[in-house]
Amino acid sequence: MKSYTVYIEKDEDSLFVGSVPTVPGCYTQGATLDELMKNLHEVVVLCTRNNQVTLSEFVGVQKIEVAV
């Protein structure tokens, strides 16, 4: 079993959007957090099947300020 860090955001339609930054192209959405987590589990299994994906290392999250 392997653990993955997940980014979760809420979009303009109030859907939860989740991505796994260490697995390229691994993202999904759900109407609830429970649905999102179920969908993320399924997509991680699909994205990492046969170990053909090169996993990156999660380093961290930073904030920046930008004048707009």
How far is CA 27 from each of CA 31, 44, 68, rounded to the nearest angstrom? 14, 8, 28
Mean pLDDT within 11-20: 95
Look at residue 23 in the predicted model and tell me its pLDDT. 87
Mean pLDDT within 43-55: 79
Let me know if 54 is exposed, middle or buried by CB neighbors in 10 A (0-12, 13-18, 19+).
exposed
CATH number at residue 36: 3.30.160.250
Compute the mean pLDDT over every residue in the chain, rounded to the nearest whole number.
Answer: 89
In the chain, beta strands by DSSP E: 7-10, 16-19, 27-30
* pLDDT tens per residue across span 31-41: 999 999 999 99
pTM: 0.77
The total domain count for the chain is: 1
How far is CA 57 from each of CA 1, 4, 20, 21, 23, rounded to the nearest angstrom? 17, 10, 11, 9, 9
Residue 53 has pLDDT above 80, yes or no: no
Query: Domain range spanning residue 63?
Result: 1-68
